[in-house]
Amino acid sequence: MSFSFGFTEDISDDEQTTAIQQSTEQISGPFVNPLDVPNPQTKPAHLESLQTLLQSLKDIRVTFESYVTPSQNTVFRRELYDVKHQLMNEDTVDQSNNNNDTANDAEDQLLLTQQSSDLTRNVYEGGFKSWECSIDTVDKLAQYQDSQLFSNKGDVIELGCGTSLPSTYLFRRALLAKIEGLKFILSDYNASVLRLVTLPNLIITWASTLPIDKLVALQRSNQNKDIPLIDDELQFTEALLQEFYADLQTRAIDIVLISGGWSRDFVNIYKSVTSENPFGVVISSETIYAPETLPILTELLVELFQINTVQRNCLQGLGFIAAKDIYFGVGGSLVEFEQNLKNVMQRENVQNWTFETIKVKAGLQRSIVLIGSN
């Protein structure tokens, strides 16, 4: 399996250096939190309807891969070509109905045309593909006990989730361990990513825990009695989707999907949907590549930990921020993120939380920044 950022934007070394200097320099005048600065070019944060997204997947047959990580942890992800196939079918239906809403959606069109770039700024942020650092995060999470990750049934938050391999890994662990009362809050810039890969990966992961006879019965319900079943395919019948939703309710597991950019509105949505319990884990991988959004992510992370501390009077919570050390051609870097995080924690007088950087053993230099209480 090969991973690479295919960015077409060219940024010279001088421009990258300037961007880093500007982001780390002390700016004169009163501080303005970047979460509070409106950006008309960014999609606003929006709470997606789980039931609506499930309905959009009805009768879709998905092809997926069972991927084993370097540390022998299994995750499931929908194949990218299968996503494109669904979009092409939806495009055909829309045209026949004289309804081009899906076909005209820019983020969907990127998959329907030949694109060499994995990023189109403020349009599509690479969420349909799985990146190395998400795999690194899965293997790091595997080193922790359930009691550490799911303590007090804290929320699992993933920022910039995309295929959401770390969260689906934790989701499967919770299902197999029969841990109930969890809330998974998954966010991605693109609503289509949440609909076409994040949610399907959760459903596939859930299906992997079912007895084989039950899984067969759910796929061959009603008009699908004679449907051929293949190991790497799953039929999203109405019965299967209803069972998925019902099982979540039985286990008191809540899945919250938020699209759009990180902003004050995003924080407000988070506060409106989060449980009274402090979050247990916050995850973000491959999200520090853009110098202009890196300060926003840093402020958001610190604010989430501050919410645990101030509003919930609790020092519980673990952060896993995985990234390449340098994003060539884009400008983001691990050093810049670490400096931003240090600066924000000093400015906010955060004394109860600390972070450390763990290097990943790989040819391409990658790291995981761990955030936790002192």
In the sheet where 233-236 sits, what is the strand order? 74-78, 60-68, 233-236
Residue 203 amino acid letter = I
Look at residue 94 in the predicted model and tell me its pLDDT. Answer: 57
State the DSSP H helix or E strand holding residue 193, giving kind and residue range, or none if neither: helix 191-193
Angle, CA 184 vertex, CA 174 and CA 122 arms, to 5°: 140
Structure tokens given for 37: 């600065």
Query: Can you name the residues that pair with 318 across neighbouring β-strands?
Result: 281
- For the chain, domains (ranges, CATH) are 44-373 (3.40.50.150)
User: What is the Cα–Cα distance from 245 to 251, expressed in whole angstroms?
Assistant: 10
Q: Are 123 and 104 in contact (CB under 8 A)?
A: no
Residue 259 Cα to chain centre, angstroms: 10
User: What is the Cα–Cα distance from 295 to 13, expressed in whole angstroms?
Assistant: 20
Look at residue 113 in the predicted model and tell me its pLDDT. Answer: 59
Phi, psi of 43 (to 5 degrees): -65, 135
Residue 59 exposed, middle or buried by CB count within 10 Å (0-12, 13-18, 19+): exposed
Look at residue 286 in the predicted model and tell me its pLDDT. Answer: 92
Look at residue 266 in the predicted model and tell me its pLDDT. Answer: 96
Residue 340 exposed, middle or buried by CB count within 10 Å (0-12, 13-18, 19+): buried
Q: Are 86 and 78 in contact (CB under 8 A)?
A: no
Look at residue 331 in the predicted model and tell me its pLDDT. Answer: 81
Q: Are 224 and 235 in contact (CB under 8 A)?
A: yes
> What does the pLDDT look like over 202-250, one tens digit per residue?
999 999 999 999 999 999 876 666 677 788 999 999 999 999 999 999 9
Look at residue 210 in the predicted model and tell me its pLDDT. Answer: 96
Look at residue 313 in the predicted model and tell me its pLDDT. Answer: 75
Look at residue 21 in the predicted model and tell me its pLDDT. Answer: 43
Regions of the chain where pLDDT drops below 70? 1-28, 91-127, 222-226, 275
**Tokens 């293949």 belong to residue:** 230
**Distance in angstroms between the alpha carbons of the first and the last residue of the chain:** 38
User: What is the Cα–Cα distance from 12 to 329, expressed in whole angstroms?
Assistant: 7
Structure tokens given for 358: 């763990």
Look at residue 315 in the predicted model and tell me its pLDDT. Answer: 78
Look at residue 130 in the predicted model and tell me its pLDDT. Answer: 84
Look at residue 154 in the predicted model and tell me its pLDDT. Answer: 85
Look at residue 28 in the predicted model and tell me its pLDDT. Answer: 54
User: What is the Cα–Cα distance from 211 to 176, expressed in whole angstroms?
Assistant: 12
Give CB contacts under 8 A, 24+ apart, made by 28-34. Answer: 31/347, 33/264, 33/299, 34/295, 34/296, 34/299
**Tokens 């994003």 belong to residue:** 327
Look at residue 316 in the predicted model and tell me its pLDDT. Answer: 81
Q: Are 23 and 295 in contact (CB under 8 A)?
A: yes
